[in-house]
Amino acid sequence: MASDMTSRRVPWVALALSFLSPGVGHIYCGRIAKGLPLYFAWLLVPLCAVLAALVPPSVTVLMLLLLLPAVAVLLVYLYAAIDAWRLASQIGSDYSLRDYNHAGVYWLLIVVQLIYSIGLIVGMRGFVYEAYLIPASSMSPTILNGDRILARKLLPANYFPERGDLIVFRNPTPSIADAFVKRVVAVAGDHIEIRGERLLINGKELERDRVPDEILKFLGKQLSGRVEFEVNSGHRYLVAYGDYSEGGRAEGDFDATIPERHVFVLGDNRDRSNDSRHFGSIPVGDIVGYVDYIYWPSESWSRFGVLNDRLP
C-alpha cells in the first residue's frame, strides 16, 4: 500500500541493493511484483543440480541443468542491477513510499539470501556435486593435468562402486592433497594380480585393444610412452605406460584379495600413479564422489563433457 509520503529513489542505492541481492533494488523502487521473481531466481540452481544428479550423465544434462542455470543466475544479477538503476532514474523524486519501503525490509531480504547462498554452496559441495582441479597427470590420458571436473555425490542408498568407476576419495596418506581421483579396477572379494603391465582380476587378464592412430596423434602432445584401451566389466578406457618424464616407474608385481567394503584403485597413467599398489585398498566409506564431467578441460575443448567409458 502506498503512503502519503514521497521520497526520491536514488539510482546508486538501487544498484547497490541489486548487487547485494537481485530483486531488492526493484522492491526499493516499488516494483515488488518484478523484484520477487528476481529475488527467488537463486532457487533455480539447486533444483537443477539435484535433478542433474538423479539422471544419467550426458552433455545435455551438463549444459541444461548445471552450466546454463549458473549462467542464468549471473545474467539475472546483471539485469537486476541495470534495470533497478534505470527504474530509480525514471522515478525521480515523486515516488510514493510503500509499506515495505524500509531499510529493515531490505536488509532482512539481503541477509536471508546471504544465509541461503552460503547454505547452497555448502549443501551443493557436500551432498550433490563438487568441483575439483586436477593437479597431476596420474589419470592421464582420461583426465589431464589442469582439467576441472565435477564429481557427483548424490547416489542411491544401496549404490556400491563398480569396476571401471572413476571415484574421488579421501587421501589415505594425508599430505598436500585432501583427495585423490582414481579408477576402480577391483571390488570386494576380487582377487587382483599385477604382473608388470599385465592386470588380472580373478585369474583373468583384462583385455586390451589397439588405440586408433588419430587418438594417438592427439595424445602425443600430452603423453610419452604407450597408450592402449583396457576393458574391465563393461568399461573401455585408455591407459598409459612408460611415461618417465617426471620420474621412475611405479612399483611392479602385486597380489591381493580385496576385503569386504573395499575397492582397489589404479591411475590410468599406470607408471606415474600413487594408488592402491602403494597404500592398499580403499574403504567404501572414504569415497566422496563419482566423476561425471570435465567441465573445463585444460587443453582441447573437444574433451569437454561427460566422462562415459561404458561399452554399448
Task: Indicate which residues carry an active-site annotation.
Answer: 138, 182
Question: Cis peptide before 312, with omega less than 30 degrees from 0?
Answer: no
Question: 242: closest CA among 223, 222, 227, 225?
Answer: 225
The H or E element containing residue 18 is helix 11-20
Cell reading at 250: 611405479
Q: How many CB atoms lie within 10 A of CB 243?
A: 23
Q: Residue 310 gets which letter from DSSP?
A: B
Diameter of the chain measured on Cα atoms: 87
Backbone angles phi, psi at 311, to 5 degrees: -75, 145
Q: How many CB atoms lie within 10 A of CB 249?
A: 12
User: For residues 161 and 287, is the Cβ–Cβ distance under 8 A?
Assistant: yes
Q: Residue 175 gets which letter from DSSP?
A: S
- CA 216 to centroid of chain Cα atoms: 28
The SS3 call for residue 241 is strand
User: For residues 117 and 42, is the Cβ–Cβ distance under 8 A?
Assistant: yes
Q: How many CB atoms lie within 10 A of CB 120?
A: 17
